[in-house]
Amino acid sequence: PRSIKRHYRAGRSICMSDVQLRHEPLRQVVAALKSVLGLAHQIGFACYLSPQQQGIPLHCDRHDVFILQIEGEKQWRYARTAATRFPVAATRPADPAAIEQFVAIHGRDRTRVPRERDLVRSVLRPGDLLYLPAGTFHATLAAEHSLSLTLGCTPRPVASIIGKAIERAFRDSPEWRRNPPPFRPSEPGAARALEQLLRGRM
């Protein structure tokens, strides 16, 4: 925290994650959202402080995000729709390889990466709120000083909830904690050996 002013004056944007852990009113907002809405998501606030002419190039996140502008202004450019529903990965800013990997993971025929000319442009001012669904490509730029608060809702897919429940149920069993024995799928009887291993644990 003591270095924030120095980095800000050097022209760097500052991101502070999970600020609700040290800020009681925000912690109460997170608790209320989870309680009232019954969300399984992991929810947390991040704070973004940007000096002039700073921002983040085009990318997309895996989580839904609500952006509240607190001070100054920030320009947002974003796609009209998410590139894919319930993405399993995000992309890094200004990284064509990350975008290519994102498309490959989610399927070329089902993934829509927006062209620059198709992006919507909005300028957020104090009190403005913007919602971007997970997988929506976006870019930001602060012409002058900007302070914003984002509420990120990271998904917890049903498969991960079930997987963690199984882990908890069997973590005291050495037979469940062990690695499967080594075998080559091409070996005769390999499939049957794996089936017997799993059947014994069922």
- Write out the chain's pLDDT in tens, 202 residues: 889 899 999 999 999 999 999 999 999 999 998 888 887 788 999 999 999 999 899 999 999 999 999 999 999 999 999 999 889 889 998 899 999 999 999 998 889 899 989 999 999 999 999 999 999 999 999 999 999 999 999 888 888 888 889 888 888 888 778 777 777 777 787 888 878 877 877 7
pTM: 0.78
Q: What are the two backbone dihedrals, phi and then psi, of residue 95, each rounded to the nearest 5 degrees?
A: -125, 95
Q: Tokens standing for 7?
A: 């980095």
Residue type, 170: F
Other CB atoms within 10 Å distance of the CB of residue 32: 10
- 94, 59 contact by CB (below 8 A): yes
